[in-house]
Chain A
Amino acid sequence: MKAPNRPFAVRLYERLARSMLPAEFYRDVGPQIVESFEALYADAARQSWFTAVGLFLRELRSIIGTGFRERRRLPRTFPGRRVRFPIWRRIAGDVRTSVRGLWRAKGLSAVVVVMIALGVSVTATVFALVDQTLLRSLPYSDAKDLVTVTVHDVRPGGGVLASSQTEIDNIAQLPGVASAVGYDVIELNLADDVGDPMRVEIVRMGSDLIRLLGIQTVLGRSFTNEEIVQRQHLALLGHHVWQQRYGSDPGILGRSVLIQAVPYTIIGVLPARFAFPTRADVWTIDGPYPNVSPQGIDRADRRYFVLARRERQNTTKVVQRQLQALAIQLAETYPATNRDVSFSVEPLHDTLTGSLRRPLYLLLGAAGFVLMIVGGNVASLLLVRGASRHKEWAVRRALGASVARIRALIVIETVTLSVAGGLLGLAGAGLFLSLVYRISPAEFPVVDTIAVDGPVILTMAGLATVMGVVIGLMPSFSAGRIVGSEILGSRGATSSRSQQRVQTAMVVGQIALATVLAVSATLLAVSFQKLTNVDPGFDRANLITIRLHNGSNGRGPVSFWRDVVDVTSDIPGVAAVAGAAFQPMEVGFGQQISIRGISSTIRPSADFMPVVGNFFLTVGVPLLEGRLFTVDDDAEAPGVAIVNASFVRRYLQGNRVLGAVIEKTISRGAWGATRSLEIVGVVGDMRNRGLAIEPEPMIAVPHEQSPFGYMRLFIRTSVDPGAVVKVVQERIWSIDPLLPVDDLQYMEDVVHQSVRQTRLMMYVAATVAVLALILSALGVLGVVSYSASQRNREMGIRMALGAMDRRVVGLIMRQGLVMALAGVLLGLMGAWATSGFLESQLFEVQATDPGTLGLVAVVLIGVTLVASYVPARRATRTDPVHVLRAES
């Protein structure tokens, strides 16, 4: 019987079958089993060894299973299919089945998909913002080694100073620092033979910032060491200038342009995405130092921000310690410039994104809330659907599906839904992002575009899947309790009490989350309202400002500005004209001062602001005391100053104000030696640090006594400012045709712009809160409708017994009211508990403001009641006869 030429696999199979199958069983059918296997194996082996191995493994499993069952005399566990399909085929089959099922319930599926899409789009938007501004590293080589060094005046009220080139050289020589570069940003005039003169933003560098950042030019080259030492007049162009002004001309290299009437040669073009420290137009090596003392470069010439690269092996902390030691050493050696000066160091990434961190994480939290509400909503909808599907599941069970398999089917269904929703949501997020970015590009300094990209898609895909699984598990548990015999019985399955409890709990949770969001959004809206109502201290209506810089025709600033005021003030429609170094909303030059005869523990400092003409009258700042500047306050006259109310409050409290003498001490760059100024007037405060911040002390000086080239022209018009712009431009060009007059701003816009971060936060929060409100209202609607339909019979009987409509409505709405009260109460507690996170984003409103909390509570309860009124009303239309007949 045993032929010697039988293959090894068959012999092995026979041995295995003999040893693993029960003896009695093997005696009965063993030879037949082996015979069949032999035939099957011969077939399989003819096809391929792969098929043969597959067969062998399958047969092995069959032996093991049969052996197990025969030994234990177990009947087949499930009447279903014994044979398993490969996992991917099972999943594909399940997905097909679930898509078919979902298609049959089109309406519900659409609602669920849209809800998930909303949740995902909000989350993806915020996540993209967080990921691309906070989490991702900066687009520079070894960006984590880049640090900013800040120079502080440690005296009280001292604030931040710029650094000098000599100081930066000292910093660069520290062992923990690889290199350090100083830079500043300024707007200057650029003229060439291409078009109108243009105002450009220029980064002036002490040495090669581009090399420090590890950036390659896309065209041409960066500076050589020799060029830097010799301070040659060379320029790198920003990509957008090269594209827009020069039409991406590859022959741009070697071309000469005039910057402030000084010729510069273009040697390279920077990459499109490069924007450090801002999205500037031109990068140059800073010109020769204006204040060179006999000992060399003046340490008092503080003009630079400092960017450094730390040595890889040193932490920021080590660098900080070395900087501290340096500060002490410099203070001893150069007391005139470095006493009371300290340094601090911080990773560049933190410097750039520090102010965004809190708002963005808050938004991420809010988005998480929305996602949770969505999850709760979808789960509760599916629970309702699940209840009506009990019969379907029972049929599946009867036909042999295991509980695990039905659960898997349900989970696959919800995953399918949430993946579909997720895809739609990602598309929505793309839309949202472009909207957010358009509203407020300036808020995101790190990248030039924020988009839905790989990491965002991956994260959201993961999130959608997890959400699908979690949501699916809930109804699947109730499915697990179903037995096949249920279909044979006549009683249709209804939802259980515990299922209703779960649903109610979820709706209460949704209302609570929506309450927290609504409270936050309302608080932000109130803040925004208060912020926009803050009096900026000047009259913004019909006021325009144009930035001008004299000097392209070599004229001094004093005569230039006299001419500007002359040519513009007699334009029809112009009511008043003046000039100032800064806008009323800008920070001026910080200046250390002392006040003669008054010694104080704090070292006074103030914003210095040279003004031309009747500046305060023009912008509408009231004179509180003394006089304004007159034409007699010229260069020959004694130095005079006008201070603001904050100055008086802080430094001259209880002292004589008019006639007090201010002395400038250490000055920034162009501000020259110590000089005394007599206070001749006091004016009202302008919000020079932004609307939300109390104004700082300010000292205005006549332009004739402190000439300054870089100024703003202010024009108050009696007509719509747009009408005079053209004439103003022409008049200024009549003085200097090479002067750019394109940077014109309406002060209305400037004030508007100053609140943009608050506005953005408010918009996003409001959108999120409204979304949350709608979603939880839908949740209430769903649950109340469902339970109303479950109580159909009860209501029918009640109405048959003569209950009024009103009573039925009340009965059903009571359920909604209870959920609303519980949810709102929980939500208010949540809002109170999380108030600390929001506090920093608010302005003149407490995070626990009772008015806001009350308002939100009323609105939420109201919305919930409306949502439960709809099904309640429907319940009264029940026909009692119909219901009772159906029951018998």
Chain B
Amino acid sequence: MTGRGRKHIPLSAMDMQILLSLMQGPNHGYAVINEIAERTGNEMRVGTSTLYAAIRRMLTDGWVKETGAPPDVERTDVRRRYYEVTGEGNRILRSEARRIDQLRRVLKRGGLLSDEVG
């Protein structure tokens, strides 16, 4: 698992966004797309098939899992599925965040990065 996860590092921006959206609890594709758009100020608009391709890959890798609908949601469409981040996904996301933070500090110490970069 860990080995397979490592080849995805560094995480792509989209993967990171998807994981972020699924971290706060079970969520479905349409909402994820809207959340990402909202979070990035409409800069990142993920295509539906691109999103599901990524989710499918993360399912295989065990980063996310399918769950039932949250209890407070009234099920309206049989096709709608809910996903959430697994422990492994959580671990990957956090280690990636640490990596980026470390990288930034190293680079800043070397005088190579100012606040704008990264």
Contacts and interface: CB of A to CB of B under 8 A. Distances in A.
B56 A29 contact: yes
B71 interface: no
Contact of B46 (A39, A76, A82): A82
Nearest to B13: A81
Interface residues of A, number: 45
A34 B47 CA distance: 11
Given A28-B56, A82-B14, A395-B107, A59 B78 contact: no
Interface string B19-63: 000000000111001100000000111111111110110000000
Contacts of A34: 79
Interface string A211-253: 0000000000000000000000000000000000000000000
A36 B113 CA distance: 40
A104 interface: yes
A32 B29 CA distance: 7
Nearest to B111: A391
Interface of A: 1, 17, 21, 25, 28-29, 31-37, 39-40, 43, 58-59, 61-63, 65-67, 69-70, 76, 78-83, 85, 97, 100, 104, 391-392, 395-396, 398-400, 487
- Of B10, B47, B78, B118, chain A has the most CB atoms within 10 Å of the CB of B47
5 contacts: A25-B56, A66-B49, A79-B10, A391-B110, A392-B117
Identify whether the interface residues of B are mostly helix, strand, loop, or mixed. Answer: loop
Given A1-B78, A34-B79, A80-B12, A395 B29 contact: no
Contacts of B45: 58, 83
Contact of A62 (B10, B48, B114, B116): B48
Contact of A79 (B11, B79, B116): B11
A116 to B, nearest CB: 25
A400 B117 contact: no
B1 interface: no
Contact of A29 (B44, B55, B113): B55
B50 A82 contact: yes
A79 B55 CA distance: 16
Given A36-B29, A82-B14, A391 B46 contact: no
B80 A63 contact: no
A58 B47 contact: yes
A83 B33 CA distance: 12
B72 interface: no
B50 A35 contact: no
Interface residues of B, number: 37
Given A61-B47, A83-B14, A395-B113, 4 more contacts: A1-B78, A36-B51, A79-B10, A82-B14
Contacts of B116: 97, 100
B53 A66 contact: yes
B49 A395 contact: no
A492 to B, nearest CB: 9
A100 B46 CA distance: 29
B13 A80 contact: yes
A83 B49 CA distance: 13
Given A65-B50, A76-B12, A40 B30 contact: yes
Contacts of B107: 395, 487
A40 B103 CA distance: 37
B68 to A, nearest CB: 15
A62 B49 contact: yes
Interface in B86-102: none
Given A62-B48, A392-B117, A35 B80 contact: yes
B49 A59 contact: yes
A66 B46 CA distance: 12
Contacts of B46: 62, 82-83
Smallest CB-CB A-B distances: 9 pairs: A62-B47, A35-B79, A36-B29, A66-B49, A29-B52, A31-B79, A36-B30, A39-B30, A79-B12
Contact of B49 (A63, A85, A391, A392): A63
